[in-house]
Structure 1
Amino acid sequence: MGVDYYNILKVNRNASEDDLKKAYKRLAMIWHPDKNPAGKRPEAESKFKQISEAYDVLSDPTKRQIYDLYGEEALKSGQFPPPSSSRSAAPHQHHYYHRGNHNATSFRFNPRDAEDIYAEIFGSEGGGGGGAGGSGGGGRAYRDGFFRTSNGAGGPEFAGTSSGPGPGLRKANALENNLACSLEELYKGFKKKMKISRSIFDSAGKVRTLEEILTIEIKPGWKKGTKITFPEKGNQEPGVIPADLIFVVDEKPHALYKRDGNDLVVNQEITLLEALTGKNLELTTLDGRNLMIPLTDIIKPGAEMVVPNEGMPISKEPGRKGNLRIKFDVKYPSRLTTEQKSDLKRVLGGVSL
């Protein structure tokens, strides 16, 4: 088969997605190049690439199926016969992966970038509002298309290469940056690529600038204050563990809607005539739908109408949303003619309040 991806990740051939992720995280924390001293950097880079490629293949159902059936060479070349029911399976093959037909013209192996995988696995752990560390004395300013790190005194701040705290080692304070999101983006979710620039030590022990692309994935329904953490993505300094880079979700004001937890609140002004006789209220939702709401009851000043399941998505309960709450302000006429007053008395005189 060539390269044994299962052996690289130290998992068995029935490993689940969760098993693969745990194995990758354990090994990535050991072999990420930034966590190794300069003298061990070439070996770490090689190991880290192997671990990342193994995870890329085994975590993708299509790649894993082809690899299980035909091996690494066929996977990477795209040259393999379509599966046949008469074909006898090798001992390492599993029926679970025998899905669909593959041929050289319908599959091309596109390996994912190792650092993208690392950022996705470790960055997603801060998505629920967690995140290691807090605000520190350092900060990151966005200049010339990059986030640049400073230590608060105007000079560069470097972060270390150790894989964990040890005697005499400290971890640099976490670096927090606001990530301003529109209410539409928080409603639908989105991915944003952020280019950062930081100082690292190369294999010769010299400081150089490394530019990286971080992928920030915002889930539908995330709230202001949610933190997305990229562990140890600060600059490097001997004897100091790199700072975590944290993006904190912030919410831009919206022209129509205001968020209240999982609910959306909208203030709506209607005339006295509409309050008494009704109307069809039309609103555009955050995902672009036209929402028609009939007002059939008499609307009193300060009244509130609740439209279920038209609020913000609830991030921890997929498929569920909060409510849309419409607060009414009834606009009274500034003046009435004598004739209009007489007509109102005639029409409303017998109405019980």
Structure 2
Amino acid sequence: MDMDYYETLEINRNATFSDINVAYRRLALKYHPLRGGEPGSGERFRQLGEAYDVLSDPRKKATYDKFGEEGLKGGIPPEYGSSGAWSSKYAYHGIPDKTFKQFFGGDNPFAAFITSDEPLQFGGLRPGEVKTQDVHIERDLHLSIDDLFHGCTRKIKISRRVMNEDGHTSSIKDKILTINVKPGWKEGTRITFPKEGDQGPNNIPADIVFVVRQKSHPLFVRQVNDLIYKAQISLEMALTGFSVDVKTLDGKQITVPINSIVHPAYKKVVTGEGMPLSQDRSQRGDLILTFDIQFPQQNLSAERKQLIKQALALK
């Protein structure tokens, strides 16, 4: 049987976001399992959680208002979608206590209530209690080696719950966080935005922490502050000498002569052509050339083998 979310929260379809919050607050406190109450209060509490989860989210509410519970949970028909595919189907997580805690803040929502014979009232902390901060939230920040070489700016939109002016209800609001990426930042660099998590009356919002994750590059492999470049060369080149042209990350074309015999472990170091140092951008790591020697694929004739033996014979 379909559930009418508005009827569940005892509000009409013209209810404002504030009306939805007030209704959920009143009914969730009334039917919370810790209050005891009449038979069936557990199921009523679950229904309240689902109704609030939908109606407090503008996108879910808009879908529900237009297509009803069937459209919300089954997906929007193709004729209404931009790509012709059905939308993501909504399913309530089924943990009404989670919805309750997110609304009131903290892992122990009843810590701020009077639980004696007085009715439960929403308010501040008990005398002597101290707000605790929620566990920090980590998000990956994927950046290319070019981003980390030159530096860049990333703007990231987050949605978080903020307390309304009445001090009792909350709403979801978007905020833009700006990250100024410095040249030379490494994999694992952490950028912290203090107290930008969900707000609640009885908690300190969590810090949001972005962790740099470095994308792979088609030409270079980063090794701390150095850049590794692998060149494909023939056996003839390895034995007779050659030069390597490399386009660096700052757009320069450099030519590196190789006059030594190149063996499998051979490396050529070009000083100062690697990544900038984040603590001193005037300094840079090195560019290290490594080599993949391509051996002949076809068999050599006896005559050619003899010529090679003569050429390589030590005197």
1:157–1:236 CA contact under 8 A, matched in 2: no
Cα distance in 2, alignment partners of residues 332 and 322 from structure 1: 32
Q: Do the aligned partners of 2:226 and 2:286 also contact (CA within 8 Å) in 1? A: yes
CA-to-aligned-CA distance 1:272-322 (integer Å, 9 cap, x gap): 110112112112222332221111222122211111111111101221111
Shift of 1:154: 6.2
1:192 to 154, 162, 168: 154
For the 8 Å contact 2:231–2:244, the answer to whether it is kept is: no
Following the alignment from structure 1 to structure 2, what is the Cα–Cα distance between the partners of residues 259 and 154? 43
Given the alignment of the two structures, is residue 209 of structure 1 paired with residue 172 of structure 2, yes or no? yes
What is the SS of the residue equivalent to 1:211? strand
One of 233, 236, 247 as aligned partner of 2:210: 247
Change (3 A) 1:277 1:202: same
Within 5 A, what are the aligned runs for 1:270-281?
270-281=233-244
CA deviation map 1:204-245 (0-9, x unaligned): 233122221111111011011111111100011111001111
Tell me which residue corresponds to 1:226.
Answer: 189
Query: Does the CA contact (< 8 Å) of 1:200 and 1:207 recur in 2?
Result: yes
d(CA) in 2 for partners of 1:268 and 1:157? 55
C-alpha separation between the residues in 2 aligned to 1:225 and 1:285?
A: 24
Q: 1:321 aligns with which of 270, 284, 290?
A: 284
Q: How does 1:44-63 map to 2 (within 5 A)?
A: none
Letter in 2 for 1:347: A
Residue 237 of structure 2 aligns to a residue whose secondary structure is helix
Give the structure-2-normalised TM-score.
0.57
Indicate yes or no: 2:251 matched with 1:288: yes
Q: Distance in 2 between matches of 1:154 and 1:277?
A: 71
Q: How does 1:334-345 map to 2 (within 5 A)?
A: 334=297, 335-345=299-309
- Aligned equivalent of 1:35: none
Cα distance change on mapping 1:191 and 1:154 into 2, 3 Å: farther
Tell me the TM-score normalized by structure 1.
Answer: 0.51
Q: Deviations over 1:64-106 (max 9, x none)?
A: xxxxxxxxxxxxxxxxxxxxxxxxxxxxxxxxxxxxxxxxxxx
User: Is this contact kept in 2: 1:221–1:314, CA < 8 A?
Assistant: yes
Q: How does 1:70-109 map to 2 (within 5 A)?
A: none
RMSD of equivalent CA atoms = 2.5
Inter-partner Cα distance in structure 1 for 2:189 and 2:262? 38
- Residue of structure 2 equivalent to 1:169: 131
Partner of 1:303: 266
**2:293 is the alignment partner of 1:330:** yes
Is 2:220 the counterpart of 1:257? yes
Relative contact order, higher structure (CA 8 A, sep 6+): 1
- Contact persistence 1:302–1:329 (CA under 8 A): no
Q: Deviation per CA, 1:171-203, whole angstroms, max 9, x where unpaired? A: 011011000111111111100111111111122
Judge conservation of contact 2:163–2:201 (CA < 8 Å) in 1.
no
Within 1, Cα distance between the matches of 2:236 and 2:308? 11
CA distance, structure 1, for counterparts of residue 187 and residue 235 of structure 2: 37
CA contact (8 A) 1:187 1:221 kept: yes
Q: Matched residues, percent identical? A: 39
Residue 222 of structure 1 aligns to a residue whose secondary structure is coil
Question: Considering only CA atoms, is the larger Rg found in Structure 1 or Structure 2?
Answer: 2
Structure 1's consecutive aligned runs of 4 or more residues displaced over 6 angstroms after TM superposition are: none
- Paired positions, count: 197
Using the TM superposition, give the Cα deviation of residue 268 of structure 1 relative to its aligned residue in structure 2, in angstroms. Answer: 2.4
